[in-house]
Amino acid sequence: MKKVITYGTFDLLHYGHIRLLERAKALGDYLIVGVTADDFDKTRGKINVQQSFMERVEGVRALGLADEIIIEEYEGQKIDDINRYGIDIFAIGSDWKGKFDYLCDYCSVVYLDRTEGVSSSEIRTENREIRIGVIGESRFLKKFVKECTYVNGAIVVAMVTDETSTLDEDFSDIDIIADSFEKIKDFIDAVYVISTPNLHYEQVKAAVNAGKHVLCELPIALHPDEVQELHSLAKANNVLLVEGLKTAYSTAYARMLLMIKSGVIGKVISVDATCTSLREDEFSSIENEKRSWNSLTAWGTVAMLPVFQILGTNYSNKQIVTKYANEKSKFDIFTRICFTFPDAVASIKVGKGIKSEGELIITGTKGYVYVPAPWWKTDYFEIRYENQEQNRRYFYQLEGEGIRYMIVAFISQVSSHRHTRYIGDEVSMMISSVIEDYYSDKDVTTI
């Protein structure tokens, strides 16, 4: 019996896939199809596959061409499979021509002509092309605009900025560059907002009222009641308001949260997060400095994320210790916040103008999680125990600092019109509540 094997993602099964499988099957008597696992696809850079692994397997199974379906999970697996299943022929589309010649040592390799004019990527783009308007300062928007080019279905068509005359070529593909939201609103489906924290509330409100979906960097407002109001407004207008913060969308960070919830380090007693950077921005006036991203708004939002996601939002008290660059602007170059919960504690140490080790440590009754600096770009973490032999290390590839995954999540939520909360409303509101306390000097000591 001649055995044939082929591999693919088979997302949104199309005519090209069917033709390939038919021809692969005709090469022998028994066809094995390797469907690529989501994690492995991510490692290969294919990050916005639309269907789940099980849906893709079902699609292939329903065709009735495969005699056996296996899962492709790791680099180098093809050689293992060829040996294990006694494969005679490895078949693959001609877009891979030459790439699998190394398998000739194990079986014959056949490249089948790719069917012209159809691909999963094109279908994904056609299915859900979301026209995005970006709002904010060009230095913050640069990465987002670039990352959108890697995500099928996300196209940045418009931009609102004060710097209309000084933009560089990173923005040359954007059709409409304007100084107000009013001028772009008829040409977009959604907005991404990363201006300055004091402007977010009004900008999000305008977008939601115009019926646009919104992805807004935290904090989405400086007061918790405003956050609540914006969420209610989004609901009433039947649009999505999605909290943005890239860390929350990284696979490693999400897995870490799940593992902690499943009890691998016992009961969590303490969450300690540090995020710092030196100051790049100098301000021409106190007013500008007042409105800018300070340590608490830029880094505090990030550091509070694991605190509230792991311990919940019901802390019983907190102490904020802060060092201002200038008391009048309330620009803090350093802030430390200690939270006490009924049965746990947390501390965050953040700074824009100081430098420290940017690590995250989650202490439990059985062991602890250690995420090395810079933990907010999480691709790796360790679970450590007293008996070091039990230590475990986890690595998940992170493309585009995580911004890419945030865009993928946003686009798929907009196109399916289903809000999957990576950052809960209550976490977002609590972060804004701490910021409100900071600005009203509640629980604040200065050094």
- Which residues in this chain contact ligand CTP in the complex, by CB under 6 A? 8-11, 16-17, 20, 46, 92-93, 95, 114-115, 118-121
Minimum CB–partner distance for residue 74 and ligand CTP (Å): 17
In the complex, minimum distance from the CB of residue 398 to ligand CTP, in angstroms, rounded to a whole number:
20
Give the residue from 240, 237, 186 showing the smallest Cα distance to 216.
240
Residues listed for the chain: 447
Q: How far is the CB of 96 from ligand CTP (least distance, A)?
A: 6
User: Could you give the CA distance from residue 147 to residue 380 in angstroms, rounded to a whole number?
Assistant: 21
Q: How far is the CB of 65 from ligand CTP (least distance, A)?
A: 12
At residue 191, φ and ψ (nearest 5 deg) are -130, 155
E-strand ranges in 19-107 read 30-36, 68-72, 89-93
What DSSP letter does each residue of 191-235 carry, written as one string?
A: EEEES-HHHHHHHHHHHHHTT-EEEEESPS-SSHHHHHHHHHHHH
- What span, in angstroms and rounded, lies between the C-alpha atoms of 29 and 351? 65
- Least separation, in Å, of the C-beta of 61 and ligand CTP? 15
> Please, what is the minimum distance in Å from the beta carbon of residue 113 to ligand CTP?
7
Residue with tokens 């909290």: 243
Which residues face 109 on adjacent strands? 90
Q: In whole angstroms, what is the distance from residue 417 CA to residue 414 CA?
A: 5
> How far apart are alpha carbons 74 and 43 in whole angstroms?
9
Identify which of residues 35 and 174 has a Cβ nearer to ligand CTP in the complex. 35
Closest distance between ligand CTP and the C-beta of residue 243, in Å? 29
Q: Which is nearer to ligand CTP, 33 or 158 (CB)?
A: 33
* Contact by Cβ (8 Å): 375, 300: no
Q: Nearest CA to 337 among 347, 350, 352?
A: 347
- CB nearest ligand CTP: which residue? 93
CB of 425 to ligand CTP, least distance (A): 34
Judged by beta carbon, residue 8 or residue 153, the one nearer ligand CTP is 8
Cα 290 to Cα 326: distance, rounded to the nearest angstrom: 10
Measured from the CB of residue 2, what is the shortest distance to ligand CTP in angstroms? 19
Backbone angles phi, psi at 413, to 5 degrees: -70, -40
Question: CA neighbours within 13 Å on the CB side: how many for 380?
Answer: 5
Query: Measured between alpha carbons, how far is residue 204 from residues 195, 237, 340, 353, 367 in Å?
Result: 11, 13, 32, 29, 42
